[in-house]
């Protein structure tokens, strides 16, 4: 390998490492963000349940964090969904969903939230913000 080939590969690799995450994140945001009716992207966003990335939400107990919005969405069964802030109000860690106990534990300091976002166990003292969710066909609309 010549010196010129080595420099070209380093420049190409460095450029790829810098540009690829920007492109990937912009595509992910476009996939989640949307409007229904006359609302703007800041008022609501939609999730298409037929998209493979959101397949976990098709089963009762399925959940996922929509990182672009910091919102955790849960299929609670019977065609009902819950959307809450995914950021713990204690120190900002991302909560998960435990379908067995139907609550949201924080992995950092043990705070526990109910399905409505209320604090069950501290150290957190403030609830997770809840967002209205509606479903029309295979589209979930979450109002912010």
Quick check: pTM over 0.85?
no
Q: In this predicted model, what pLDDT tens digit does every residue of 34-74 receive, in sequence order? A: 333 344 456 888 999 999 999 999 999 999 999 888 999 99
**What is the rounded CA–CA span in Å between residue 27 and residue 70?**
17
- In the chain, domain spans: 1-32, 35-143
Most confident of 17-26, 27-36, 100-109: 100-109
**What is the rounded CA–CA span in Å between residue 5 and residue 106?**
49
**What is the rounded CA–CA span in Å between residue 46 and residue 67?**
14
Fold observed for domain 35-143: Rieske Iron-sulfur Protein (2.102.10)
**What is the rounded CA–CA span in Å between residue 110 and residue 94?**
12
- 14's CB contacts (< 8 A; 6+ apart) are none
Phi-psi region of 110 (alpha: psi -120 to 50; beta: other; left: phi over 0): left
């Amino acid at each position: 390998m010549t010196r010129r080939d080595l420099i070209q590969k380093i420049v190409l690799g460095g450029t790829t490492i810098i540009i690829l995450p920007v492109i990937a994140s912009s595509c992910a945001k476009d996939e989640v963000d949307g409007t229904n009716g006359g609302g703007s992207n800041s008022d609501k966003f939609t999730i298409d349940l037929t998209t493979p990335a959101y397949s976990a939400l098709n089963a009762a107990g399925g959940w996922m964090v929509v990182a672009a919005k910091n919102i955790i969405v849960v299929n609670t069964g019977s065609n009902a969904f819950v959307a809450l802030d995914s950021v713990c109000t204690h120190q900002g860690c991302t909560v998960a969903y435990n379908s067995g106990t139907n609550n949201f534990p924080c992995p950092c300091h043990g705070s526990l939230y109910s399905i409505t976002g209320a604090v069950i166990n501290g150290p957190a003292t403030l609830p997770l913000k809840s967002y209205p969710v509606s479903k029309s066909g295979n589209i979930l609309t979450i109002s912010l």
